[in-house]
A and B are shown apart, each in its own frame.
Chain A
Amino acid sequence: MRCLLPFALCLGALAIGLLFAETAGVSKHTVWVVPWDHEGTLRVEPGDVVEVWTRPIPFIPENLDVRFRASKVGPGVDLVGDTLPHEEGSMERLYFFRAFDPGPAILKVEQVDGEGNVQGAWTYQVEVMSPHKSSPQE
């Protein structure tokens, strides 16, 4: 019985730890999923992630040289990564931007050919709000 007591105490501590982790502020950020044809301003909070999907274009011979690239304007947002959707047939790409500081920002995605010529461009307006003051999107 004496051996069980510390074990039970450890379990209890673990449960309490989980409870705090569950309610910790760091775990409450939002991932905003943005389709390529989205219009209007995204209102996000610092820590949120904006996941922008490019236009889906078919993987066919005419598009072998097509590439996408992303950039941003504004100090409060950074491009933090990109990946492919897990499927076959499409060349679309996902770009991840993270919001850090309040203020306006513009996210930009471009479709370029093999020589770097821009074939299409899409921009997304972002307003990084102060925490807990975000309002519905426009």
Chain B
Amino acid sequence: MSSTHSSRRSGLLVAAVLVLLALAVGIACAAAIMQLPRAALIPGVPEKIIEVPTVRLQQITASKSQANMAVLRQTYFVRNNVPHIRLGADEFKLLPLSRLEYTPSAQEFKASQQMPVYLTPYRNYVYGQPYKIPDVVDHRPNQTSIKDQAGRLTCVCFASMAGLEVAYGGTVIDLSENYANYLYMKAEDRGCKSAGLQTHMSADYLSDHGVCRETVCPYQTSYPAWCNNGANPAPAKRADAEAKRPFKIKSYHKIWRKDDLATDTGAWINNPRYLEAILRSGKDIVFGTYVAGWSGDCTGVLDVQLGPGGNPLPSVAGHAMLVCGYNRPEEYFMVKNSWGTDKGQDGYFYLSYDYIRTYAKYGYVIDEVEPLALVPLRPMLRAVPMQRSND
């Protein structure tokens, strides 16, 4: 009897504690909500929304630190699902998240480790086991010609179009980097003079939308170029391009970097064995890399250079290119660049295996492309002359 009474008393105590706990959590949530910044405009000052560079919103969010979350709330507010920042009397619309620091989710990491079926024969090799793989694979003869991005920030457009062109299997399919840039900037709600792009995002955009041939939307080496805002391109030209863009990714898989990779193992962009296996399977890799130690015409093998402290030189920029070959005995990859034929080896750069281990950021492989519809025979090739003769 007394034990029942005692257990009832304990139960009541626990219930009381739980109620208090719930109360505390409720107060914490209320306090958090109260700290959200208000988007009220300053009286008499018109609202001004412009595009500005933005901060590492996603990184701050991902850190889940209370202090960082408070900074986040103090700094941003969201209107129509777009983050904004107040800078004095003005309000600034921030760029979409893809431009911010990008940390792949656990699911993305996990998905990237599930290698496509065509890589199954090389699985053991990728994970560090012996396997007979050719010393040299060179896909340069399969590529379209080397192009020149001129003075624009469009390396991702060139790398992704090079990857799509070769995925369609022809050296004569010349796709429009100009349209790709228009497409990417439109997808990110950015202007045509905006800065670069995270290379892996181009795979997402190219699987959502197709691109057209170069002849439909030729590259513009200077501004004004095609924008997703303003009057350029003219509506008729835009409609024409959008009606002629069947070139599209059907499936792809992304490859991420693993920072603490002690040996060459795993399906990571900084594992040369994985890149070799992909190239051996017949595919090329669109990839983004940090840049350090490049100078002159870049004709030799670009390798890791050490700074005064004995550490690899810090990165000065990001760049996108297409990995299209390797030479295992000499430990370098062949990479298609977009700086014309005067740089590198006739436009192809050689990056050492160590460079890839140190500086490669991420990339993707185009597994399948959307099939092209059969083009009907032109009227000229039909029996038009016969009809004429009958007349």
Contact = CB atoms under 8 A, between A and B. Distances in A.
B54 interface: yes
Interface string B353-373: 000000001000000000000
B27 A59 contact: no
B10 interface: yes
Contacts of B288: 88
Contacts of B102: 86
Contacts of B294: 64
Nearest to A84: B315
B155 interface: yes
A111 B58 CA distance: 28
B70 A89 contact: no
Contacts of A21: 66-67
A84 B150 CA distance: 22
B318 A59 contact: yes
A34 to B, nearest CB: 7
A67 interface: yes
B85 A33 contact: yes
Interface residues of A, number: 54
A111 to B, nearest CB: 12
Interface string A60-83: 111011010000000000000000
A45 B296 CA distance: 45
Contacts, number: 175
Given A59-B153, A88-B320, A33 B55 contact: yes
Contacts of A40: 88
Contacts of A59: 153, 155, 196, 291, 317-319
B42 interface: yes
Nearest to A37: B52
A131 interface: no
Contacts of B318: 59, 84-90
Interface in A17-34: 18-19, 21-23, 26-34
Interface in B194-239: 194-199
Given A1-B11, A12-B21, A29-B71, A90 B153 contact: yes
A11 interface: yes
B20 interface: yes
Contacts of B24: 12, 15-16, 19
SS of B interface (majority):
mixed
A101 interface: no
Contact of A58 (B53, B56, B153): B153
Contact of A87 (B11, B32, B197): B197
A65 B153 contact: no
Nearest to B148: A60
A19 B24 CA distance: 7
Contacts of B153: 56, 58-59, 89-90
A101 B151 CA distance: 42
Contacts of B69: 27
Contact of B66 (A22, A33, A34, A87): A22
B265 interface: no
B87 interface: yes
A85 B99 contact: yes
A136 B154 contact: no
Contact of A32 (B67, B87, B195, B199): B87
Nearest to B50: A35
B54 A61 contact: no
B198 A60 contact: no
A64 B295 contact: yes
B21 A8 contact: yes
A94 B21 CA distance: 42
A70 to B, nearest CB: 15
A38 B67 CA distance: 28
A27 B66 contact: yes
Nearest to B21: A12
A132 interface: no
18 contacts: A1-B7, A9-B17, A19-B24, A21-B66, A22-B35, A31-B71, A32-B75, A33-B87, A33-B92, A58-B149, A61-B339, A64-B295, A85-B195, A88-B156, A89-B153, A89-B154, A136-B42, A138-B88
Given A28-B71, A33-B92, A85-B318, 11 more contacts: A1-B7, A8-B21, A28-B35, A33-B87, A60-B150, A64-B295, A65-B295, A84-B316, A86-B56, A89-B155, A90-B196
4 tightest Cβ-Cβ pairs between the two chains A and B: A137-B88, A89-B196, A27-B70, A56-B195
